[in-house]
Structure 1
């Protein structure tokens, strides 16, 4: 039987501490990964984020099968913390009226539908900006909202493949490998959040909002980084190098007699310290084959074999102690289980459990952003589908019970009974 990790309850933030985005109303039309990652960061720091979902199943990640608890998936829980959730059927005119009313009061709208969807429903920037000129409207897409590919749907691994990013990952003698986590989605979400915050700052100076756009393909291209820049300078197509950039024999995975480690001795100073203070092989400094970076690269397989033989002769903890004493960049090669239980993670209070309406409690991974004056809000678990419909319509739009009942009767919230789509809690 698999033992689940023991997680502590989260320590609440200090009473009276301000939040960075207090009073900011964000209407969130996003789903899957990039958009929800963006809006979750805004919610973590005090924005009121109203997540609008299709009542017929909601966000696609609700059905992802990594793991589930209390009827909710790990994917959905990981991306929708601190949001209030409502369900609206956009095929219903009454529901569109609610959506437009929310946008009219919003500071920020974020959407990542396929091209043309928001325009079809009259919810695109051109349609809504005249009634809310201070609105910051963020569109997240695979290939942008203009041009020949604007209507083409796309996903993280596809843009990894098409941008060249995937060609850099893996080993030289094997096929390219996508990253495990959806790194382009996550980076696009971060970029979208940055763009929104910049637009809000610009609004303070200019007095009006604007449309901002982030595309997966653009993010993937930018993430080729200095490898992409090197290609533009030299014309040489970079390839895969596994765990050792440029084939460096002193960067990558080695195995002690009882386990793996990762070292990163990427310059002459660190190399000399490694071979003299840790490996006790000063001859690897004076030997002409290894005396300089270029000669080490030319003889990398020979040097790698020598270093591998030395590491294999002793236990992992002995090597780790020696390398830490010599201030060599080194780390354990851990599984997720080992990493999450490591002191580097546990000492940072990154993991906790928080209340959930159907599961009792669910795991929580803290935001990686720290702010001394305006720390993140106390986390609230991702909403059930339509959980806050009644609350949002009452508190945000000022609708009374009669009007909410009329909307429910008109089918604005889908076929489900409103009692299952929100309470006053």
Structure 2
């Protein structure tokens, strides 16, 4: 049986983050193709981590800077190794290359960390995003090196696909566009949705370990909610997210209708009962699970250009995209109050899910590409000379640093 080893940055928690949902989608896809999946991670398990054994996935804790991984992978002989984020490729990539050289090495970027971090740094300085700053960022050099060392990198957003090719000059053959893998919104599902009248309130959802989500809630409090509340005095904002911090919890204010609800066990239920998803994101990268969750459950959204970036393949947005927060507040009220505008937005969301995120179409194409790479892996690697150079250099540097740490820890 073909085996896939997934090396996770964290244990899978699909109810806590979009990254967890994404990983679950990939696991399901591999299993559907008959692969035996093992999920390994050096991270401590969180209380919200899913028990993957219920899905017939083997779970294995692994150690950083420890040769026990070498015998672990030699014994397993996986046909595919998937690194969950570039940090895992940095830690384990050289060991995979040395002890399981025939494994297809896939990097799931989740989102481009260098893009998100650079945008955050520039926002803190009061500067607008520049390609020059992105190119000079240390994290960009690390992340791009990891992409070059792998046989295939999964890119979640169309914007990031373009950025990698035009700004970083990455060969298209090393990249594969694979957004969220979602079921189509069929008529049977739409019939069960709550109507405009049956829904109420705004919802803002996202885990608070993720800096863009924290900033979005702070912007709601400082610059947006009071304007909305003036026009809609009985409407509430419900804020949900895992890993609640004191900074967010203390924003709760019943009188203002600014309600911090905490962790949502079922994001779907929260979103399908709301009338509008609101996401004033000022920085970030990748695609936003809160927004696809809205589309999949018939809930229109209002967000920023960063929020909608790379998500809708130039199809009309399922609500409004606005960066000026005064105008943002006005459009949020329009989307909430105007049933005709709301219903049209809902239809646009259905079109985006069905055309951009169709898991059957995307999954079939991805597996075909995996098989194609496996057949011609030697030639594929020969054509990626820069990747081989980096692999060689990394092997020399990281290998001996890791061995030194291992000896030191004995």
Please, what TM-score do these two structures have when normalized by structure 2?
Answer: 0.33
Which has the larger helix fraction? Answer: 2
Please, what TM-score do these two structures have when normalized by structure 1?
Answer: 0.32
Q: Which has the larger radius of gyration?
A: 1
